[in-house]
Structure 1
Amino acid sequence: MAHEDASFTDISIQAASSHQVWDPFVRLFHWAIAGLFVANAFFTSPKHDLHHWIGYTIAALVGARILWGLIGTRHARFSDFLPSVSGALNQLRDMATGRRHAHIGHSPLGALMIYNLLVTLLVIAGSGWLMTTDAYWGVKWPKDLHEIAVNWAELSVAAHIVAVIVESLRLRVNLARAMITGKKDIRRDSR
């Protein structure tokens, strides 16, 4: 029985299949954001110009990803993974009951995480930029907002990594490899 949410392309795991899902831009964006975020969070000083330039680069990449979400390939488009509370609840129910239901593109929970991270990265970049302007130099709220958003992003990234591992094991689909190769291999259900 397929999920009622038509915004997600999904399949019940019944037959082995391989799907070209993530285009080169999506994969490059994903790994570039991951590397730049780690670099800025752990290896640069917020007072250093490099920190600022990495933040501007992240903002530009997010802008490009938003554009690609409107005009890009099928599974990169936001229309392929609209936010869905009912889809997310169905996915949680599948997880709780042990039902394996693979999504060719983003899963409903994965979609919510993507929207969360895109917005959070824009808040980080925007508040970081505000702190460099004359109008907001030394003003407390942009710094507080920046720190809160960075902490939220770090928690979200940790949750994302755990979810990728858990769902890869549960669904028997190597989601990390799919983000490297672009191809999602969905295997025959072993039950």
Structure 2
Amino acid sequence: MAISFFTAYLTAEDDELRWLHVSAGYTLAILVGFRLLWGIIGSRYARFTNFVRGPRAVRRYFHSIVVGHPEHHVGHNPAGALAIVALLGMAILVAASGWATYRQDDQGWIEEAHELAANLMLAILGVHVLGVLTGSWFHHENLIGAMFTGRKPGDPSQSIGRSMWPVAVALLALLMGFWWSQWLSGS
């Protein structure tokens, strides 16, 4: 998702790369759709019911950091959950407003909304990265590595029983098919 967003963001002003901007935007939309589905049917720690909590949990988590005894979460912590929900919401706004801009003849306010949503998403991404870095420091664990590998220290009873490689391969095949169709259509 990050690669798709940054590709679209960096190619937004270049008319010659509009096809890349649009393709990266559609890729972001596909990945967000997958993440929403995965948040319902995915592995234990990927499900929204496992990590999305209310404001009280977020305050309690921040308080635990301030007092020097940060709560440990094998999955997402409440602050990370807040960032994920915000990023998914912003990605939906960016993709929807981008699609509307791409499909409309009069692009005035829709294009401005698209640009504003993308800039807000960039700001939330910056806060998220800062949170991951500080969380790694407070928890003495590599959260960035865990984001890539899916592995995080914890009790073996808290682990996920089986790998989900077939799902990853299917998603990759879907994305490769989409990009192949984009390449063939010359857009």
TM-score, structure 1 as length reference: 0.75
Amino acid at match of 2:28: I
How many Å separate the matches in 1 of 2:151 and 2:13?
37
CA deviations over 1:40-63 (Å, ceiling 9, x no partner): 112454641111111011101100
Tell me, yes or no, if structure 1 residue 137 matches structure 2 residue 105.
yes
* 1:63-102 to 2 correspondences below 5 Å: 63-102=33-72
How many Å separate the matches in 2 of 1:64 and 1:181?
18
Contact 2:101 2:107 in 1 (8 A): yes
CA deviations over 1:128-172 (Å, ceiling 9, x no partner): 110122xx3223221121111111111111111111110101111
How many Å separate the matches in 2 of 1:100 and 1:61?
31
Structure with greater proportional strand content:
1
Tell me which stretches of 4 or more aligned residues in structure 1 moved more than 6 Å: none
Amino acid at match of 2:5: F
SS in 1 for 2:105: coil
Contact 1:59 1:121 in 2 (8 A): yes
Tell me, yes or no, if structure 1 residue 166 matches structure 2 residue 134.
yes
How many Å separate the matches in 2 of 1:83 and 1:59?
25
Please name the residue that 1:5 is paired with: none
The CA RMSD over aligned residues, in Å, is: 1.7
Count of aligned residue pairs for this structure pair: 153
Identical amino acids, percent of aligned pairs: 34
Structure with greater proportional helix content:
2
Contact 2:51 2:77 in 1 (8 A): yes
How many Å separate the matches in 2 of 1:89 and 1:130?
37
Please name the residue that 2:5 is paired with: 37
Report how far residue 178 of structure 1 moved: 0.9
Of 116, 122, 134 in structure 2, the residue corresponding to residue 148 of structure 1 is 116
SS in 2 for 1:83: coil
